[in-house]
Structure 1
Amino acid sequence: MDTITAPAPPAWYGCMGLGGSWDPAPYAPADVYAAEAAITASLDIGVTAFDHADIYRHGKAEAVFGEVLARTPGLRERIVLQTKCGIRLDGGFYDLRGASIVARLAQSLERLRTEYVDVLLLHRPDPLADLGEVAEALHRLREDGLVRHFGVSNMSAAQIAALRSRMDFPLVANQLEMSLARRDWVESGVLVNTSTAAANGFPHGTLEYCVEHGIQLQSWGSLAQGVYTGRQATPVEEATAQLVKELAAHHDTTPETIVLWWLMRHPARIAPVLGSTRPERIRACGDAVNREPALTHEEWYCLWITARDEPLP
């Protein structure tokens, strides 16, 4: 298993929107068809990595994806499959106890109708977690062939370092909310030695730590919920959306691609997670997957400054 190369695709399809409603009610046949359409659109633009979590739609996102895998021979071998555990909807708390990790992964495998996942992420930090116990559970899943690689989500450099110190194999990913709308990850790097630094909640140094240790940065919410590509609620969002539109025309691409290029232009090589369930919007992201980010240094900064609505310090 040590010879397996850690997956680091340029983009992921985020499956949180699959499976119908956010309640425990069973999914409908139409939800399977919608999942199949989204998966097909992703594959059409070259996205072969799919991101799940056990809590998405109360497990229905994994279940409808499993239905599609079952009806599409050979698909499992063509894709990278990632899921997460650690958030408990039945109680509203976090749970990284070793037995819970093992049990939740077993449920995910059953819903996904697969014998293993390529990557398992720990979804949120659990303040009560015994990191030795966590590492032991991950080692067990790896030795049993149920998970090939492990990563984290929503964790700081210090939290990752503490977990890594208990493990004898690497963590391969850290998934964080990052977008042109959620900019604290990039703001933290320029607010050092300013009076506003303390107001920035992003743990400074996390990006640098991940890059140094070969941990892929995955960005959830990368399309910024469409505020720059379809719906704007404020004058700042409108101005940013207009700039995005102009840059899309200049580079002969789509507004969605410009928003994603802004992330991918960063030297940390951020891999966006595409969360839309609409096939046409998924396909609009195709240039982000198949072309190198074409934004110039000046265009990248212009987008940032327009979205933040104030000069850099």
Structure 2
Amino acid sequence: MTAKRTPEGGQLLYGCMGLGGTWAAEAYGAVDIAAAEAAVMAALEIGITTFDHADIYRHGKAESVFGEVLARTPGLRERIVIQTKCGIRLADGANPGIYDLRGQTIARRVEESLKRLRTDVIDVLLLHRPDPLADPDDIAEALTSLHRQGMVRRFGVSNMGAAQIAPLQARLEVPIVANQLEMSLQRRDWLEAGVAVNTSEAAANGFPLGTLEFCREQGIELQAWGALAQGRFTGRQDSPQEHATARLIASLAEEKGTTPETILLWWLQRHPARIAPVIGTASPERIRACRGAVGRRPELSHEEWYAIWLAARGVPLP
């Protein structure tokens, strides 16, 4: 297979967490495979070619049904980028869920993901969550071995701040290419942190200030999971403020001849960090509603971008 690279910043990824049926540890069936195929084909139809997984999604069933789709579609593997994650162990009976980034665990989880996905290489492997007991040297040794064996092409992280990424990068012979964070119009701490400096709001924010800037300087793609905010502004509003924001977004969508989903994604993509949204809906219709955010410059002015932010924020800027 020819080498692939991660998409340019700002592009759309399809998040596969919704594939594979329920979260119960039960077998998937033909209905689940068909639903996965419909979602994957809808994503391809609008121009998405990067598919984001994790070994824990639906207890591994998301990767498995995706592997079934690959097996049914000759030539598809060569057209796409497969990204997956490891590092979380789900609760099992009396055993609670924990994080595990020991080198031997990473290697084992990659082998299991490769089998479920029915491929011989993972294009991008992300470390899913920081493990407080992790040894950066141990992690780096495992990742380097996976890369040299040709099992993983590139590496990234998820839910990490700059101070957690830097020591890992210093130990790797290949660059970290992505950091996936929850970022949306609803989850705005990543944005608010930058304007809360020297205000009383700063202490309550919690987002590691400087992470966006670090990633931009290091060429690390910022991927936004939860980018559509679980439908909060496109049909699932729970508060007067969300309703008002949704009306503004709908108005802008009508004015620009696109969809509210596209406006939400443009709002992320318009940021100079060129954020790459991950859309996680399993609905082919909703996937197609994101078409305008693929391969197209966000059509939001400076003032429109701020109007959306302030509507969701509900209070003036500091």
What's the CA shift string for 1:195-219, capped at 9, x where partnerless?
Answer: 1101001100000000000000000
What's the CA shift string for 1:79-127, capped at 9, x where partnerless?
Answer: 0000000000144000000000000010000000000010000000000
- 1:176·1:220 contact (CA, 8 Å) conserved in 2? yes
SS of aligned partner of 1:219? strand
Instruction: Find the counterpart in structure 2 of residue 88 from structure 1.
Output: 89
Deviation at residue 155 of structure 1 after TM alignment:
0.2
* Partner amino acid, structure 1, of 2:7: A
- 1:6·1:172 contact (CA, 8 Å) conserved in 2? no
Aligned residue pairs total 312
SS of aligned partner of 1:188? helix
Is residue 2:60 matched to residue 1:59?
Answer: yes
| Counterpart Cα distance in 1 of 2:4 and 2:137 | 25
Instruction: Find the counterpart in structure 1 of residue 298 from structure 2.
Output: 293
Instruction: Find the counterpart in structure 2 of residue 8 from structure 1.
Output: 7
- 2:7·2:50 contact (CA, 8 Å) conserved in 1? no
Instruction: Find the counterpart in structure 1 of residue 214 from structure 2.
Output: 209
SS of aligned partner of 2:238? coil
Deviation at residue 261 of structure 1 after TM alignment:
0.4
Is residue 2:203 matched to residue 1:198?
Answer: yes
**Structure 2 residue aligned with 1:279, among 261, 279, 284?**
284
- 1:20·1:31 contact (CA, 8 Å) conserved in 2? yes
What's the CA shift string for 1:51-78, capped at 9, x where partnerless?
Answer: 0000000000000000000010000000
Instruction: Find the counterpart in structure 1 of residue 254 from structure 2.
Output: 249
Instruction: Find the counterpart in structure 2 of residue 101 from structure 1.
Output: 106
| Counterpart Cα distance in 2 of 1:88 and 1:44 | 34
| Counterpart Cα distance in 2 of 1:237 and 1:195 | 25
Instruction: Find the counterpart in structure 1 of residue 33 from structure 2.
Output: 32
SS of aligned partner of 2:134? coil
SS of aligned partner of 2:227? coil
Which segments of structure 1 move beyond 4 Å, counting only runs of 4 or more?
Answer: none
Instruction: Find the counterpart in structure 2 of residue 111 from structure 1.
Output: 116
Deviation at residue 168 of structure 1 after TM alignment:
1.7
Report the RMSD for the aligned CA atoms in angstroms.
1.2
SS of aligned partner of 1:290? coil
* Partner amino acid, structure 1, of 2:100: D
Q: Structure 2 matches for 1:113-192, cutoff 5 A?
A: 113-192=118-197
Instruction: Find the counterpart in structure 1 of residue 69 from structure 2.
Output: 68
SS of aligned partner of 2:312? helix
Deviation at residue 6 of structure 1 after TM alignment:
3.4
- 2:4·2:123 contact (CA, 8 Å) conserved in 1? no
TM-score by length of 1: 0.98
| Counterpart Cα distance in 1 of 2:22 and 2:127 | 24
Instruction: Find the counterpart in structure 1 of residue 234 from structure 2.
Output: 229
**Structure 1 residue aligned with 2:225, among 213, 220, 237?**
220
| Counterpart Cα distance in 1 of 2:77 and 2:5 | 17
SS of aligned partner of 2:195? coil
SS of aligned partner of 2:294? helix
- 1:244·1:255 contact (CA, 8 Å) conserved in 2? yes
Q: Structure 2 matches for 1:253-272, cutoff 5 A?
A: 253-272=258-277
Deviates more, 1:177-186 or 1:4-13: 4-13
- 1:35·1:64 contact (CA, 8 Å) conserved in 2? yes
| Counterpart Cα distance in 2 of 1:43 and 1:244 | 26
SS of aligned partner of 2:278? strand
Q: Which runs of 5+ in 1 are unaligned?
A: none
Q: Share of identical aligned residues, percent?
A: 67
Task: Specify whether residues 84 and 182 from structure 1 end up closer, same or farther in structure 2 by C-alpha distance, changes over 3 A only.
Answer: same
| Counterpart Cα distance in 2 of 1:25 and 1:112 | 18
Deviation at residue 4 of structure 1 after TM alignment:
4.9
Q: Which runs of 5+ in 2 are unaligned?
A: none
TM-score by length of 2: 0.97
SS of aligned partner of 1:169? coil
- 2:4·2:81 contact (CA, 8 Å) conserved in 1? no
SS of aligned partner of 2:246? helix
* Partner amino acid, structure 2, of 1:107: E
Deviation at residue 5 of structure 1 after TM alignment:
6.0
- 1:240·1:306 contact (CA, 8 Å) conserved in 2? yes
